[in-house]
Structure 1
Amino acid sequence: MKFGLAEKIKETTVSRRGFLLTSLAGGFAVASEPLFAQAIKTDTQGITAGEVKVPVKDGQIPAYRAMPAKGKNFPVILVIQEIFGVHEYIQDICRRLAKRGYYAIAPALFSREADVSNMSLDAILKEVVPVVPDAQVMTDIDSTVAFAKASGKANTARLGIVGYCWGGRTVWLYANHNPAVKAGVAYYGLLAGLKGPNKPADPVDVAANLKVPVLGLYAGEDSFVPDEVVDKMRNELGKGNSASEIVVFPAVNHGFHADYRPTYDRRAATYAWKLTLDWFKERGV
């Protein structure tokens, strides 16, 4: 069936109307409060940082990008959001990586479903997380890689991915989806328990088949990821040949790297960040 101009415009309008987030909010997400004074603020001296628009199959999604101000051919790190979206903490992670010479980009992966910047944690967990299809997330990240490659500034042959909380789970799944990734780092991402119509597999289900080396950074006091699930993940990883590893930090909780939250643990976060940078560097990212 052929469509005339009016029908094409109508079709595009309806499609684009489905994107509930068209621009990134400033500051921290409301659900991430209370905020703590120790939150790290990385400046933009020597880097270029700000919002960009990433074309996807049905429109475009906002993303935060940071990279060195001069040069090109930068290795790429995909930064995958917490459930709070691409708020100030995730944006700052991008700036920290740009200071290290990376092209860092964080796509807003809830763009179709909601603007989570003003939603409560309970609402995000009930109304957003369950309805976001993993398949959609994978293709949006694919589009983000394509956007980086088309920029002329990024070397996507040296591709890494890091994610936090919801994004940590996504790192494991994307590493399975795209074996071209050189290395991944997953901070306290759920390993099991989210399977459903929109989420056909958990990380424990794909662990044995991974080809990408992923470093999992987990918390010993994390009720969301109990010890027995971590043990199961290690066992499944041992059946494969990805050379992935899991490090558990004792006596810290979920979100220990999130410097704006009460769960932040400076010593664990500092060491985890060193492990992250070393993991990427040693694997060609």
Structure 2
Amino acid sequence: MEKEFEEELKSLSPVVPFTRRHFVMTMLASGFALAVKPIAAQTAITTDTAGLTAGEVKIPVADGAIPAYRAMPAKGTRFPTVVVVQEIFGVHEHIKDVCRRLAKQGYLAVAPELYARQGDVSKMPDVKEILAKVVSKVPDKQVLSDIDATFAWATKSDKGDAGRQGITGFCWGGRIVWLYAAHNPKLKAGVAWYGRLTSEANERTPRHPLDLAGELEAPVLGLYGGADAGIPLDTVERMRAAIKAAGGKSEIVVYADAPHAFLADYRPSYRKEPAEDGWRRMLAWFKQHGVA
């Protein structure tokens, strides 16, 4: 499926401007996205809400409001804040669970629905439809602005600490992590899970992580699978070399036998050892760089 994703991205149509104040999604989807088949229920991790405040919130953005999932400790204030950037499947149950896992570690974790203007992917039956009807219409400029708005909302709520901001994302969201680290000078650190590093430029996606390796404002930890059919290892090595050439503090870890989406415990792609090691590395990275 991920190789199909990479190939489909090459032929996506140019960006289609969104209608001002028109939001297709005003509430988050429930459960898992329909296009995820099969659901590996026997391995899916479910994190409870004991000791947490968790649920849907609305994030004010430049042209209205987008839904988001928020999880944080039930007691306290000014928590270190992590924005969690969705896979191509939107903010479904797996992304919500990632937020709860981070909240259990003391973070305010927020996952904004970054497709809210373009469509609800949760009911679409296959990846090709998601790519053609929604992802192809989501411009990077909009995404970066919405993440800015998410951090601003967290700070204004008195629950988020403006001085301790991090970001993590998966697949589609992994690419966004690299872009956002080159966008926001206040960001402390990012962790990108198997995010695409390069592709053809267009109006919607004018630049890619490889283009921005020398412009990163915050260090990024990239976590990649050596058996990822959709992200060739040569692009990972090119990114590593570009970071080194720029004198950057970012790092890349490759798990030799791991496929794409190895943290996605609800899918057959899940690999326990690299997933757990990657999670530990992420928490350590945030602590090392002042997010925790």
TM-score tier, shorter chain, comes to over 0.9
State which of 74, 96, 112 in structure 1 corresponds to 2:101: 96
Deviation at 1:282, TM superposition (A): 1.0
Deviations 1:63-98 (A, max 9, x none): 000000001110000100000000000000000000
Deviation at 1:48, TM superposition (A): 0.3
Contact 1:208-1:238 within 8 A present in 2 as well? no
Q: In 2, distance between residues paired with 1:126 and 1:96?
A: 32
Q: In 1, distance between residues paired with 2:79 and 2:248?
A: 25
Change (3 A) 1:250 1:56: same
Contact 2:184-2:217 within 8 A present in 1 as well? no
Aligned to 1:247: 253
State which of 175, 178, 181 in structure 2 corresponds to 1:175: 181
Number of matched pairs: 271
Instruction: Report 1:42-53 matches (<5 A).
Output: 42-53=47-58
Q: Which has the larger radius of gyration?
A: 1
Tell me if 1:23 matches 2:27: yes
Q: In 2, distance between residues paired with 1:135 and 1:127?
A: 18
Q: In 1, distance between residues paired with 2:137 and 2:261?
A: 23
Instruction: Could you tell me which runs of 5 or more consecutive residues in structure 2 were left unpaired when the two chains were aligned.
Output: 1-18
Aligned to 1:128: 134
Q: In 1, distance between residues paired with 2:50 and 2:186?
A: 32
Aligned to 2:4: none
Aligned to 1:8: none
Aligned to 2:71: 66
Deviation at 1:128, TM superposition (A): 1.7
Q: In 1, distance between residues paired with 2:224 and 2:91?
A: 21
Contact 1:211-1:241 within 8 A present in 2 as well? no
Tell me if 1:106 matches 2:111: yes
Q: In 2, distance between residues paired with 1:64 and 1:156?
A: 19
Q: In 2, distance between residues paired with 1:164 and 1:49?
A: 21
Instruction: Report 1:1-285 matches (<5 A).
Output: 15-16=20-21, 18-36=22-40, 37-119=42-124, 120-285=126-291
Deviation at 1:194, TM superposition (A): 4.8
Percent identity between matched residues is: 54
Q: In 2, distance between residues paired with 1:176 and 1:218?
A: 20
Contact 2:88-2:171 within 8 A present in 1 as well? yes
RMSD: 1.0
Change (3 A) 1:194 1:61: farther
Q: In 1, distance between residues paired with 2:57 and 2:118?
A: 19
Instruction: Could you tell me which runs of 5 or more consecutive residues in structure 1 were left unpaired when the two chains were aligned.
Output: 1-13
SS of 2:67 mapped into structure 1: strand
Change (3 A) 1:180 1:242: farther
Q: Which amino acid aligns with 2:101?
A: R
SS of 2:182 mapped into structure 1: helix
Q: Which has the higher relative contact order, 1 or 2, with Cα contacts under 8 A spaced 6 or more apart?
A: 2
Contact 1:163-1:171 within 8 A present in 2 as well? yes
Contact 2:138-2:204 within 8 A present in 1 as well? yes
SS of 1:29 mapped into structure 2: coil
Deviation at 1:33, TM superposition (A): 2.2
Contact 1:220-1:248 within 8 A present in 2 as well? yes
TM-score by length of 1: 0.93
Deviation at 1:269, TM superposition (A): 0.3
Deviation at 1:28, TM superposition (A): 0.5
Contact 1:24-1:62 within 8 A present in 2 as well? yes
Q: In 2, distance between residues paired with 1:214 and 1:248?
A: 14
Contact 1:162-1:186 within 8 A present in 2 as well? yes
Structure with the higher helix share, 1 or 2: 1
